[in-house]
């Protein structure tokens, strides 16, 4: 019953994604890759790699998925797959300042064992266009259980 409820909720939230009429020349899908400095470690800090996919919704909203791989170089590795919902604060063309909510899993790999946890966070940043297709995105995020992360993405819109 719980799985059916979650499936229905996801369908309700994403059902309108494909009902949009494409505007001439408007790119709606963004793919980005980047680096992050975060607190995915018991002590000190970790370095991370980020891969993200976003789909622009009407107005100033976007939905997507992110994956962060972090390593503290002392035996702890973390993978954070998450879904995201983004709001571009002062813009309707999906550039500029944004706020983002993330929810997903937090998988800790340590001493040959995997410990799964729930992950939730808030992210803020700015999307800076570099031409028509390319963008740069510096950001900062806070949440549980990683505490904080600071990074930048470089991406393209299709």
- pLDDT tens digits along 118-135: 999 999 999 999 999 999
pLDDT score, position 4: 44
C-alpha–C-alpha distance, residues 114 and 37, integer Å: 22
**Residue 154: per-residue pLDDT:** 98
Average pLDDT, the chain: 87
Rounded Cα–Cα distance for residues 57 and 122 (Å) = 19
pLDDT band at 42 (very low <50, low <70, confident <90, very high): confident
pLDDT of residue 153: 97
- Residue 25 pLDDT greater than 70, yes or no: no
- What does the alpha-carbon distance between residue 14 and residue 7 come to, in Å, rounded to a whole number? 11
Rounded alpha-carbon distances, angstroms, from residue 134 to 82, 88, 131: 23, 17, 6
pLDDT band at 27 (very low <50, low <70, confident <90, very high): confident
Strands (E) in 39-112, as ranges, are: 46-56, 61-71, 76-88, 96-110
Taking domain 26-157, whether its CATH number is 3.40.50.720 is answered by no
Q: What is the mean predicted confidence (pLDDT) over 63-90?
A: 95
pLDDT above 90 (res 90): no
Our CA angle for 156, 131, 101, nearest 5°, is: 45
Is residue 46 over pLDDT 90? Answer: yes
Confidence of residue 93 (pLDDT cuts 50, 70, 90): confident
Asked if the model's pLDDT at residue 115 lies above 70, the reply is yes
| Confidence tier at 109 by pLDDT (50, 70, 90) | very high
What are the Cα distances from residue 90, in Å, to 61, 73, 99?
11, 39, 11
């Amino acid at each position: 019953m719980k799985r059916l409820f979650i499936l229905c909720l996801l369908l309700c939230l994403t059902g309108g994604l494909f009902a949009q009429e494409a505007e001439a020349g408007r790119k709606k899908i963004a793919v980005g890759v980047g680096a992050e400095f975060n607190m995915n470690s018991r002590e000190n800090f970790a370095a991370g790699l980020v891969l993200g996919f976003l789909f622009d919704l009407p107005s100033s909203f976007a939905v997507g998925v992110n994956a962060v791989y972090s390593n503290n170089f002392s035996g702890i590795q973390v993978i954070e797959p998450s879904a995201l919902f983004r709001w571009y604060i002062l813009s309707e063309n999906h550039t500029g300042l944004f706020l983002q909510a993330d929810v997903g899993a937090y998988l800790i790999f340590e001493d040959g064992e995997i410990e799964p946890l729930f992950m939730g966070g808030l992210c803020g940043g700015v999307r800076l266009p570099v031409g028509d297709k390319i963008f740069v995105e510096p950001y900062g995020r806070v949440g549980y259980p990683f505490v904080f992360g600071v990074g930048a993405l470089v991406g393209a819109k299709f």
